[in-house]
Chain A
């Protein structure tokens, strides 16, 4: 299993156009990224297209990833997740979200801030469990399945504005819990 450092090293080589490194990066990370897009799209054929699109973005944007304390897997998963969600919402007006990947590393947090956030990440499951059951499930649905406010409102059978209020309160509780 490749370490975060190995993955960072591979991304740095990919940024220089190293195809062998790209192949290795794919071999080491594609099961995770495919799992991410499959969870969102729930369809193998779409997920195969999406994971290819994601790796094409990774190839193109590798130069913009720099080691700033953000985990390289988080960077890649963010690209994969957003690519899958864009695909899921293809029928809507499309927004190019390539920049999401860029802004993770652009002015972003300093390494200490990132390390704090990464430490908090380990507590997220416990903190979600502190929320009312439906609310924790809504946050998971949004993150893991790419559900929008409208999807979640339909799923939990509440008006859209109520869902937004719910979710924002949940996120605030989550932030407080994770900072404890």
Chain B
């Protein structure tokens, strides 16, 4: 009996200690709680939320956001920011569709789209690392550049031919054939997003490069003095963000079949919001890929709920996003203050 009480008391203190040790997990857990609360609220208020088709659509419609939010997570953990991703998506998707329609091999075009995204990342990285430009300014310049290039390519919606091979990435596979239209559906796009998430988690948590990303966010000067490859790593995070913008462009274009120069306006901000809601500190050093995924899903589910409600004007979406963001930023402040004690 004594032994039992002892184990019990020990496990309760160790839980407390664990929370104390992993205080930085708190905002991510909070995001998860909010997501679950939103699901429950939606189910109770509107119904048909906790079902396979809704969840499938949530993933399918937000896979591009998840992908760029993962890239943004890398950049923000180092203490930087990437404002160019939305515009890079616009450029790569317009270029991709035009190349496909010009008769290029569809899979070659996919690779090119990813590579072009990576190229924008390289330029941002070089500006930040070797010309000592503020990440905000460097990626802002890239944003204008990419948007301008997209507009030069075309200012009208470019439609893919119905037989374009890239469209295969949006093929809907029924995993579970539910009653009526309540099916569990998955697309190659969703699988790509999942792979991106898994690879990113491995990179960040299980490689020295990933740990250097965190170290830079903690203190760039310290990382430098510890002899870590700071220069190369800072370059890499922008390249990764650019590459993932290219991947997101592929996934998004395959789903819509249309590309336009005004695609992705403000998506960089959605990605930043998703990342921050998911518990990544804008000052760098703390953050989780899974948090950003949850953040993306919170944003996506919010739109679903607003649509279902019908009473909330769509214009209010941004206000609600802003409100959620504010709550999370305040929560992070609180955690930081607690950590300092």
Query: Are both chains from one complex?
Result: no
